[in-house]
């Protein structure tokens, strides 16, 4: 378990992380969301013991990172932003070095290296210099490095940045697979990723936590949550009818009367009312569905103007 208490980090006059507190339990995949410069990376740097906090405390399975940094670092796998690696080393040489530092020896060492390489699909490039690899492979080298010692906690700063859609999917599958018994913290600004892999999302803006919950809970905060979208096969004058239904707050019309989006008042559902109205008027219905809510909308609403 990771406990973060009132974590604060200032750079001169600038406060990058401001009084952040949270806990993460094994099995959780926590996604840090936030605009660039919100303090995601700085928080991760403090969680991994790279940066000392200005104030506040981080502990991992009861070990304080400021007091027992080595014990904490042994249980951590960390992918820093940009997946840095020594470009003049071969992939295998690099993984061997990390394995040596991690104290892996003999047969176990080579097994762990091959296992990590297999998980990240690095086998074809093991003998290549890291400097000659594509961005996607470099990122996977960084990922493989974090897995070598089978850590309890994975902290991954933008793990899918620079990958193509197939690779992104592979990495997400890998994370979900690893997450079973580990704590995984990832940062991202790709919102679909949060819904895809995270069991919990935390939105950070200007160094502060502005939202924390499951992706579904966050989506529910969107104004699109429970909104009903209607598509007709030909234009229909339905705006006034929809607006007159009970519980409707607002109606958007688009596509010249072919499409409508009906926003309900909070905690009410207008689906049936809309459905009945359409049937009684015999409008040519194409599709009708309830929106889950849009993370993007919540994200913008919470972070805009804050950093």
Partner 1 sequence: MSGLLTVCKREWSAYFSTPVAYVFVLIFLMMSAALTFYLGNFYDRGQADLQPFFNFHPWLYLFFMPAIAMGLWSQERQLGTIELLLTLPLTQAQVVSGKFLAAWLFAALALVLTFPLWLTVNYLGDPDNGVILTSYLGSWLMAGAFIAVGCCMSALSRNQIVAFILTVLICFVLMLSGFPMVLDMFRAWGSDRVVDFVAGLSFITHFQALSRGVVDLRDVLYFLLLITVWLFATGEVLSIKKAR
Determine which helix (DSSP H) or strand (DSSP E) holds 245, and give its type and residue range. Answer: none
Q: Can residue 139 be called a binding residue for partner 1 (CB under 8 A)?
A: no
Q: What residues have CB less than 8 Å from 176, skipping those under 6 apart?
A: 29, 197
Q: Can residue 226 be called a binding residue for partner 1 (CB under 8 A)?
A: no
For partner 1, the binding residue among 43, 145, 170, 303 (CB under 8 A) is 145
* Binding footprint of partner 1, residue count (CB under 8 A): 30
Q: Can residue 101 be called a binding residue for partner 1 (CB under 8 A)?
A: yes
Give the number of other Cβ atoms within 10 Å of residue 141's Cβ: 25
Q: Can residue 78 be called a binding residue for partner 1 (CB under 8 A)?
A: yes
| Alpha-carbon separation of residue 169 from 153, 164, 166, 173 (angstroms) | 21, 9, 5, 6
Six-digit token string for 265:
């008042």
Given the rule CB under 8 A, which of 100-108, 158-166, 177-185, 222-230 is the region that contacts partner 1?
100-108
Six-digit token string for 204:
């950070």
Q: Can residue 49 be called a binding residue for partner 1 (CB under 8 A)?
A: yes
Taking the C-alpha atoms of residue 41 and residue 156, their distance in angstroms, rounded to an integer, is 10
State the minimum distance, in angstroms, from the CB of residue 70 to partner 1: 5
Q: Which is nearer to partner 1, 88 or 266 (CB)?
A: 88
State the minimum distance, in angstroms, from the CB of residue 129 to partner 1: 8
Q: Can residue 40 be called a binding residue for partner 1 (CB under 8 A)?
A: no
Taking the C-alpha atoms of residue 44 and residue 158, their distance in angstroms, rounded to an integer, is 11
Q: Which is nearer to partner 1, 102 or 225 (CB)?
A: 102
Token pair 């909070």 is found at 266
Q: Can residue 67 be called a binding residue for partner 1 (CB under 8 A)?
A: no
Determine which helix (DSSP H) or strand (DSSP E) holds 226, and give its type and residue range. Answer: none
Q: Which is nearer to partner 1, 184 or 210 (CB)?
A: 184
Q: Can residue 222 be called a binding residue for partner 1 (CB under 8 A)?
A: no
Q: Which is nearer to partner 1, 103 or 246 (CB)?
A: 103
* Among 25, 24, 20, residue whose Cα is nearest residue 7: 20
Q: Compute, in degrees rounded to 10, the torsion defined by CA atoms 284, 290, 295, 296.
A: 10
Q: Can residue 108 be called a binding residue for partner 1 (CB under 8 A)?
A: no
For partner 1, the binding residue among 74, 199, 214, 307 (CB under 8 A) is 74
Q: Can residue 11 be called a binding residue for partner 1 (CB under 8 A)?
A: yes
State the pairing for strand pair 228-232/248-254: unpaired
Q: Which residues bind partner 1 (CB under 8 A)?
A: 11-12, 45, 48-52, 70, 73-74, 76, 78, 80-82, 84-89, 93, 97-98, 100-103, 145
């Amino acid at each position: 378990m990771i406990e973060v208490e009132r974590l604060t980090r200032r750079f001169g006059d600038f406060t990058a992380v401001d009084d952040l507190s949270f806990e993460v339990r094994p099995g959780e995949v926590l996604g840090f969301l936030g605009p660039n410069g919100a303090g995601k990376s700085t928080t991760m740097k403090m969680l991994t013991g790279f940066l000392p906090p200005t104030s506040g405390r981080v502990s991992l399975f009861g070990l304080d990172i400021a007091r027992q940094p080595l014990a904490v670092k042994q249980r951590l796998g960390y992918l820093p932003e940009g997946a840095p690696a020594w470009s003049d080393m071969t992939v295998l040489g690099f993984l061997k070095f990390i394995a040596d530092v991690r104290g892996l020896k003999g047969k176990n060492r080579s097994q762990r290296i091959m296992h990590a390489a297999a998980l990240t699909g690095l086998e074809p490039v093991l003998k290549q210099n890291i400097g000659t690899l594509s961005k996607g492979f470099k990122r996977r080298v960084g990922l493989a490095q974090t897995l070598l010692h089978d850590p309890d906690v994975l902290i991954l700063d933008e793990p899918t940045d620079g990958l193509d859609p197939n690779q992104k999917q592979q990495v997400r599958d890998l994370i979900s697979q690893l997450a079973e018994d580990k704590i995984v913290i990832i940062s991202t600004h790709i919102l679909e990723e949060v819904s895809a892999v995270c069991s919990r999302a935390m939105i950070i803006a200007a160094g502060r936590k502005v939202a924390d919950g499951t992706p579904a809970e966050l989506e529910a905060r969107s104004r699109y949550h429970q909104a009903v979208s209607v598509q007709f096969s030909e234009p229909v004058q339905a705006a006034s009818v929809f607006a007159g239904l009970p519980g409707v707050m607002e109606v958007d019309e688009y596509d010249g009367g072919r499409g409508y989006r009906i926003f309900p008042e909070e905690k009410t559902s207008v689906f049936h009312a809309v459905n009945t109205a359409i049937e009684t008027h015999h409008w040519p219905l194409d599709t009708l569905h309830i929106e889950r809510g849009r993370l993007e909308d919540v994200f913008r609403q919470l972070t805009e103007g804050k950093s």
